A and B are shown apart, each in its own frame.
Chain A
Amino acid sequence: ATNKLQSRIFKEGLPYILRCRRSFATDVPKITTHYTIHPRDKDSRWKDVNMERFGDDVDVVIVGGGPSGLSAAIKLKQLANAQEKELRVCVLEKASELGGHTLSGACLEPRALNELFPNWKDMGAPVKQEVTSEQFYFLTKSLRIPVPLLPGMPIKNHGNYIIRTGNFVRWLGEQAESLGVELYPGYAASEVLYHKDGSVKGVATNDVGIAKDGSPKETFQRGMEFSAKVTMFAEGCHGHLSKTLFQKFDLRKNCQTQTYGIGLKELWEVDPALHVPGRVEHTVGWPLSKDVYGGSFIYHLAEDAPLVSVGFVVGLDYRNPYLNPFQELQVFKTHPAIVKLFKNGKRIAYGARALNEGGFQSIPKLTFPGGCLIGCSPGFLNVPKVKGIHNAMKSGMVAAEAVFETLTDEDKVSKSETAGLDPVSYEEKIRDSWVWSELKSVRNVRPSFHNPIGMYGGLAYTGVVYYLLRGREPITLSHGAPDYARLKPATECKPIKYPKPDGVVTFDLLSSVALTGTNHDHDEPPHLTLRDDSVPMARNFAVFDGPEQRFCPAGVYEYVETEDGRGHRFQINAQNCIHCKTCDIKDPSQNINWVCPQGGGGPAYNGM
Chain B
Amino acid sequence: MSGLRILVGCKRVIDYAVKIRVKPDKTGVVTDGVKHSMNPFDEIAVEEAVRMKEKKIVSEIVAVSCGPTQCQEVLRTALAMGADRAIHVEVDAATYENLQPLHVAKIIAKIAQEEKVDIVVTGKQAIDDDANQTGQMVAALLNWPQATFASKIEKTDGELKVEREIDGGLETIKVKLPAVFTSDLRLNEPRYATLPNIMKAKKKPLVKKTPTDFGVDVTARQTILKVEEPAVRQAGSKLASAEELVTKLREAGLIPS
A: which residues have CB within 8 A of B? 54, 56, 96-97, 99-100, 166-167, 170, 184, 187, 205, 208-209, 217-219, 221, 223-224, 269, 304-305, 348, 514-515, 517-519, 598, 604, 606-607
Verify A224–B17 contact, CB threshold 8 A. Answer: no
Partner of B15, one of A187, A208, A224, A604: A604
Q: Which chain B residues lie closer than 8 Å to A223 at the CB level?
A: 194-195
Q: Return 17 A-B CB contacts under 8 Å, by A number.
A: A96-B37, A99-B33, A100-B35, A208-B194, A219-B192, A221-B192, A223-B195, A224-B195, A224-B196, A305-B24, A515-B19, A517-B18, A598-B192, A604-B17, A604-B18, A604-B34, A606-B35
Residues of chain B lying within 8 A (CB to CB) of residue A54: 196
Q: Which of A219, A514, A607 contacts B19 (CB 8 A)?
A: A514
Verify A219–B24 contact, CB threshold 8 A. no
A90 to B122, CA, bound (A): 34
Is there contact, CB below 8 Å, between A519 and B33?
Answer: no
**Chain B residue at minimal CB-CB distance from A55:** B196
Cβ-based interface call for B56 (8 A): no
Bound Cα distance A209, B191 (Å):
8
Give the residue of A56, A218, A606 whose beta carbon is less than 8 angstroms from that of B199: A56
B189 contacts A219, C-beta separation under 8 Å:
yes
Instruction: Flag if A606 contacts B37 (CB, 8 Å).
Output: no
In the bound complex, residues from chain A placing their C-beta under 8 Å from that of B191 are: 219, 221
Residue numbers in A under 8 Å from B19 (CB-CB): 514-515, 517
Q: Is B198 an interface residue (CB 8 A)?
A: yes
CB distance from A191 to the nearest CB of B (A): 14
B 10-30 to A, binary, CB cutoff 8 A, 1 in contact else 0: 000001111101001000000
CB neighbours of B189 from chain A (8 A):
217-219
Residue of A nearest to B18 (CB): A517
Q: Nearest CB to that of A205 among chain B residues? A: B195
- A518 to B35 alpha-carbon distance, docked (Å): 11
DSSP majority for the B interface? Answer: loop
- Shortest A170–chain B CB gap in Å is 7
A92's nearest neighbour on chain B, judged by CB, is: B195
Cα(A607)–Cα(B191), bound, Å: 30
Instruction: Encode contact with A along B29-63: 1 for CB under 8 Å, 0 otherwise.
Output: 00011110100000000000000000000000000
What are the residues of chain A within 8 A of B33 when measuring CB–CB? 99, 166-167, 170, 606-607
Since A170-B33, A187-B195 are in contact, a sample of 4 more A-B pairs with Cβ atoms closer than 8 Å, ordered by chain A residue number, is A96-B37, A219-B191, A604-B18, A604-B35
Contact, CB under 8 Å: B17 / A518: yes
Q: Give the distance to chain A from B198, nearest Cβ to Cβ, in Å.
A: 7
Q: What are the residues of chain B within 8 A of A604 when measuring CB–CB?
A: 15, 17-18, 34-35
Q: In the complex, which residue of chain A has the Cβ closest to the Cβ of B32?
A: A606
Q: Identify which of B17, B24, B32, B195 contacts A269 (C-beta below 8 A).
A: B24
For A100, give the chain B residue with the smallest CB separation. B35
9 interchain residue pairs of minimum CB distance: A519-B17, A604-B35, A517-B18, A208-B192, A606-B33, A54-B196, A224-B195, A187-B195, A221-B194
Q: Which of chain B's residues has its CB closest to A604's CB?
A: B35
* Nearest A residue (CB) for B37: A96
Which residues of B in the span 221-245 have a Cβ within 8 Å of any Cβ on A?
none
Q: Please measure, in the bound complex, the distance between the C-alpha atom of A196 and the C-alpha atom of B18, giving whole angstroms.
A: 44
Q: How far is the CA of A245 from the CA of B19 in the complex (A)?
A: 37
CB distance from A21 to the nearest CB of B (A): 40
| Contact across chains for A517 and B15 when beta carbons are under 8 A apart | yes
Chain B residues near A208 (CB, 8 Å)? 192, 194
| Separation of A598 and B238 alpha carbons in the complex (Å) | 42
CA distance A184 to B73 in the complex (A): 12
Q: In the complex, how many angstroms separate the beta carbon of B82 from the nearest chain A beta carbon?
A: 13
Give the complex CA separation of A571 and B2 in angstroms.
52
Chain A residue numbers with a CB within 8 Å of B199 are 56
Given A56-B199, A514-B19, answer yes or no on A97-B35 (Cβ-Cβ < 8 Å): yes
The chain A residue with its CB closest to the CB of B202 is A182
Give, as a whole number of angstroms, the nearest-CB distance from A494 to chain B: 32
**Contact call A224/B194, Cβ cutoff below 8 A:** yes
B17's nearest neighbour on chain A, judged by CB, is: A519
A519 proximity list for chain B (CB < 8 A):
15-17
A163 to chain B, nearest CB (A): 14
Q: Which of chain A's residues have a CB closer than 8 A to the CB of B190? A: 219
Inter-chain CA distance A607–B16, complex, in Å, is 19
- B residues 167-199 near A (Cβ < 8 Å) are 189-192, 194-196, 198-199
Kindly list chain B residues whose C-beta atoms are within 8 Å of the C-beta of A218.
189
Chain B residue nearest to A520 (CB atoms) is B17
A79 to B33, CA, bound (A): 31
Residue of B15, B16, B19, B35 with highest tally of chain A CB at under 10 A: B35
Residue numbers in A under 8 Å from B192 (CB-CB): 208-209, 219, 221, 598
Query: Could you tell me the distance in whole angstroms from the C-beta of A573 to the nearest C-beta in chain B?
Result: 14
Q: A187 CA to B195 CA in the complex, in Å?
A: 7
User: Please, how many angstroms separate the alpha-carbon atoms of A54 and B196 in the complex?
Assistant: 7
Q: What's the nearest-Cβ distance from chain B to residue A492, in Å? A: 39
How many whole Å from B202's CB to the nearest CB in chain A? 10
**Chain A residue with Cβ nearest B47:** A219
CB distance B198 to A184 under 8 Å? yes
CA A167 – CA B189 in complex, angstroms? Answer: 34
Closest Cβ neighbor of A598 among chain B residues: B192
Distance in Å: Cβ of B133 to nearest Cβ of chain A: 28
Q: Which residues of B contact A221 (CB under 8 A)?
A: 191-192, 194
Bound together, the chains give a CA A515 to CA B199 distance in angstroms of 32
**Complex contacts, A205 vs chain B, CB 8 Å:** 195
- By a CB distance below 8 angstroms, the chain A residues around B198 are 184
Cα distance A56–B197 in the bound complex, in angstroms = 12
- With a cutoff of 8 Å between Cβ atoms, the chain B residues found around residue A518 in the complex are 17
Within 8 A of A (CB), among B200-233: none
Contacts of B18 in A (CB 8 A): 517, 604
Nearest B residue to A54 by beta-carbon distance? B196
- Expressed in whole angstroms, the minimum distance between the Cβ of A270 and any Cβ of chain B is 12
Residues in B with CB closer than 8 Å to A517 are 15, 17-19, 35
Taking CB atoms, residues of chain B closer than 8 Å to A96 are 15, 35, 37
